[in-house]
Structure formats: C-alpha cells, structure tokens
Structure 1
C-alpha cells in the first residue's frame, strides 16, 4: 500500500499594517524570510510536495511564492477559496480532489482550523505558530481513504524560528 505524505502548513507571518481586509493581508518581513527556510528544510528532508493546495488569501499565496523556488521540479498549486479560515472538514474535501498518483501534498492554510486539523490527525494537541509545517504520513490507496482510516503518523514538525536560529548560527 502506498505511503502518503501530508504537509499541513500555516501561512508565514503576516502584516497587520495598512488597514487591509483580513483576506488581503500580505506577509511581513519575518514571514518573507521564513517561508523559503521552511521550503529548504522540506527539500532537505525529502518532503518536496508533488502538489500544493492553498487558501486563496494573499498571505498563503505569498507564502508559496516565497517557497516554490526551493523545489525542483516546482509542483503545481491549486488555490482553494474553501480553505480560507477553514478546518478539518475542508481539508478532507480538498484532499479528496487530489489525484491518487500524487503521494505528497502541501496544504497551506490558517488558524485556528489548521491547528485543530493537525491535532486531530496527529492524535495529540499541537500548536501551529505562523510558518509551522506538520509532517504526517499514512498508508492508503487513495487520499479519500487516508482520512477515513484515521491512522496518521506524526513524523516531524518544522518551526521557522528554529530554522532561523540555525541559519543565524551558521553565518
């Protein structure tokens, strides 16, 4: 049975300046710096996604734009309005649309829904700060059955602050 890799990631740190609507908030400087670090770590760990599904909010789109150059080949992205401020059920619905030949997918979204979804899948309470990525696996023939079985394994958590510290320590 194939192993499926799910990367559940909260958008990078966003700005509250400018009086924009929540949906239109851009990344701030810290978010723009963190997103490529997370992508580089995913690539280094062998977790490059084959497909990306993201909320259509500006901050999730910008997060992916800052990440994509780290992946070769660059995976296609699907912008899904239903993932804006959504949770577990919307994640399951979006994942069910993935082609079954796709074995690894990155889902970019928002809290509190992503934190609740990650906690439910991992079987433990997880906090998802901005830019965090939770790496989960499951043995499943299809994406749809992957969520009905409920046997996800938490493999790792990528925290941008830890990567930023590593990057600072090197230079």
Structure 2
C-alpha cells in the first residue's frame, strides 16, 4: 500500500427493518429490507472497492443486512461485530474507526441512523460530483451507503477530513 493512496470508508445503513414485538436491538429485516440488502451488496460490488474490514453493529437488522450484502461481493472482508456501533453518535463512531489498524486500506461500517447519516455529514469536508446533493435530497434511506476517501491513517480521521465520493440508496 502506498502512503499516497487514499483510504476508503463505506458508511452503510441497515436495510428496512420489521416492527415485531421485540426489543429494538432484536428487530429483524422486513421482506423489502432483505431484497434491498442484496441489491445494496451488488451496488457496493460495482464500486470496485476491495474491502479489507467490515465493522458491523450487533443489532439483528445490521447483521442480517451485512449477511445478505456480503454474499454479493467478490471478496468477503474480515467482519467484526461491534456493540459500540449500535445507537452511536458520530463522535462515538469516529472513535471506533480510529482504532482500525493501519494495514486496513478500505473498510465498511454497517450501522444505524441517525449516527451513520450524521457521520457522513461530519466527515465530508468536500464532495465530488453531485453526491452531497443527492444525499441531501434523499436523506440517508435504509440500505443506503456513502463512499468517502481520506488521506492518512484511520487514527487521523476526524470531522472534515474526508471527501464524499459517492452516495447510493435503493429506489423507493
């Protein structure tokens, strides 16, 4: 890995969840969520980003989203299920990402709103093309993801240090 090569982080919101009579952490995906998770996985594969690491919330809906999405990728990255991602603020999510080892070039974080949307907004100091406009117009729907790039180590990630490269969300 060249030190000049930017790192990529994908922020991926879980797909649409169902609302059964269970604790929030245990909510499963709805039928539409299962379909959208697989489509999101294909779109993530289309980015061509070789993911080294996946950090996934321990909530049922995020684990199910990732299980369906990762099947669409050409390479399965190492996955770590991290309790701190559930119900985390952007600052708490940055602290989790800051712990990522330097040998990880590209990663995906699978989590929840409002934390994932807030993190995307906080990190993006700049945006390419119309990605920020599309995200602003759509919000951050279930099964949506953004791709951000950053120079430097994961420890150096902080507000405004990344560039928003892409935004994708399923059609409603």
Calculate the TM-score normalised by the size of structure 2. 0.86
Q: CA RMSD in A?
A: 1.6
Please name the residue that 2:143 is paired with.
Answer: 131
The structure 2 residue matched to 1:3, chosen from 3, 6, 24, is: 6
Give unpaired runs (5+ residues) of structure 1: 163-171
Query: C-alpha distance in 2, partners of 1:72/1:46?
Result: 9
Q: 1:48 to 1:13 in 2, by over 3 A?
A: farther
What SS does the corresponding residue of 2:101 show, helix, strand or coil? coil
Give the drift of 1:5. 0.3
Equivalent pairs, count: 159
Matched, 1:113 2:115: yes
Partners of 1:129 and 1:72 lie apart in 2 by: 25
Residues in 2 aligned to 1:69 and 1:113: alpha-carbon distance in whole angstroms: 25
Instruction: Give the drift of 1:151.
Output: 2.5
TM-score when normalising by structure 1: 0.86
- Provide Cα deviations, 1:125-148, integer angstroms capped at 9, x if missing partner: 7421111101111111x1011327
Q: How far has the Cα of 1:103 moved from its partner?
A: 1.0
Equivalent position to 1:71, from 45, 65, 73? 73
Gaps of 5+ in 2: 126-131
Output aligned runs, 1:24-35, within 5 Å. 24-35=26-37
CA contact (8 A) 1:92 1:144 kept: no
